[in-house]
Amino acid sequence: MKLLVTGGAGYIGSTLMPVLLENGYSVKCLDRLFFGREPLNQIASNPRFELIKDDVRWFDPSILKDVDVVFDLAALSNDPSGELDPAKTLDINYLGRVRVAKLSKEYGVKHYVLASSCSIYGFQEGTLNENSTVNPLTTYAKANVMAEKDVLPISDSRFTVTVLRLATVYGLSGRMRFDLAINGIVLGLYKTSKIPVMRDGTQWRPFIHVKDAAKAFITTIESPPEKVNGQIFNVGTNEQNYQIHPLAELIGKSVGVPFEIEWYGSPDKRSYKVSFNKIKNMLNFTPNYTAREGAVEVYNALKDGRVTDSLKTKTVEWYKHLLEAHALAKDVTLRDTVL
């Protein structure tokens, strides 16, 4: 079986593709490589791997001719990045992904999987499931909702469409990120013995390890089509719904070093607690990693020098850097710019 992973050089994709190759799949990666080729170094020489440097908005659709499954992960990721240029965020995260889905169907792909986000729940009380009303508060979240609404109706008996709403991801990756809650908490703990916590600390978030996110994608395509076609699944585990302040305390104690809480920002306008019963009951999906394990993993990698907090590990800061660099270039065409 051959798969295409859009955004494959990103935080989740660079974790997912090595597992796919280990499991015997052939993999094409479609990516603009905004963060470089380094996340793909470990698989670059694999004969079943192919890299296509291109954009979801204008790639040649003929690359889909021999593809069985598409994992659509390409996006300007996270809420702050989405606000750098909301129009471009919608262009990529909404229209670009709808283009991928429709072309996939046209070229005979059997299964399309959209990487969405639990951030679409916004701010709500209670425990939310896949049938709950969504409340997207940011351009990033709104683009996910719009993409979901456009790709689900094109499913049919020959074209399976599945939407995965991912919890907030954490853990080590080939394209490391420290702008994610747990990873950022660990970085602050490592560098200053202070844990940054966005006010007021009572906001809820669901979490999932990046390796478990990869596992969810694979579980989806290895499940019977009748179980996943036209379906939305929240991806995570009920046990990893946390309020941010208690989570910070948990991580500090798990790592086992002295720490202080360092408050920052205005009160977070996003808060959502999510049910993951559907994916557990329908697909028998259970994550392997806990927040404690992920935090210790990241802390030890920092301590051992296996990862560092370079500019590339802060998504919005790196996009700003690229925008500024390209703005100074005189011979840059539209397709060379970051957005």
What residue type is 178 in one-letter code?
Answer: F
DSSP alpha helices (H): ranges in 152-290?
181-192, 210-221, 225-228, 244-255, 277-283
Span 123-135, average pLDDT: 97
The predicted pLDDT at position 212 comes to 98
Span 226-253, average pLDDT: 97
Span 268-282, average pLDDT: 96
Confidence of residue 327 (pLDDT cuts 50, 70, 90): low
Span 103-108, average pLDDT: 98
Span 55-83, average pLDDT: 94
The predicted pLDDT at position 332 comes to 39
Q: Please tell me the least confidently modeled range out of 137-141, 179-183, 209-213, 266-270.
A: 266-270
Q: Are 10 and 175 in contact (CB under 8 A)?
A: yes
Span 178-189, average pLDDT: 95
CA 318, CA 314: separation in Å to the nearest integer?
Answer: 6
For residue 333, pLDDT over 60 is answered with: no
For residue 39, pLDDT over 90 is answered with: yes
For residue 339, pLDDT over 70 is answered with: no
Strand 69-72 versus strand 2-6 pairing type:
parallel
Q: How many helices (H) and strands (E) are present in the chain, helices listed first?
A: 12, 14
Mean pLDDT for all residues in the chain: 94
Confidence of residue 33 (pLDDT cuts 50, 70, 90): very high
Q: In Å, what is the CA distance from 155 to each residue of 12, 76, 240, 298?
A: 25, 25, 31, 39
Q: What is the pTM of this model?
A: 0.95
Rounded to the nearest 5 degrees, what angle is found at the Cα of 275, between the Cα atoms of 265 and 161?
105
The predicted pLDDT at position 126 comes to 96
Confidence of residue 99 (pLDDT cuts 50, 70, 90): very high
Q: What percent of the chain has pLDDT over 70?
A: 96
The token duo for 37 is: 């080729």
The predicted pLDDT at position 335 comes to 46
The predicted pLDDT at position 334 comes to 37
Q: Please tell me the least confidently modeled range out of 52-56, 225-229, 259-263, 265-269.
A: 265-269
For residue 70, pLDDT over 60 is answered with: yes
CA 112, CA 3: separation in Å to the nearest integer?
Answer: 10
For residue 276, pLDDT over 80 is answered with: yes
The token duo for 329 is: 């270039």
The predicted pLDDT at position 151 comes to 98
The predicted pLDDT at position 330 comes to 39
Domains of the chain (ranges; CATH) run 2-336 (3.40.50.720)
If one compares 3 and 79, the residue with the highest pLDDT of the two is 3
Taking only the tens place, the pLDDT of each residue in 57-66 is 999 999 999 9
What residue type is 303 in one-letter code?
Answer: K
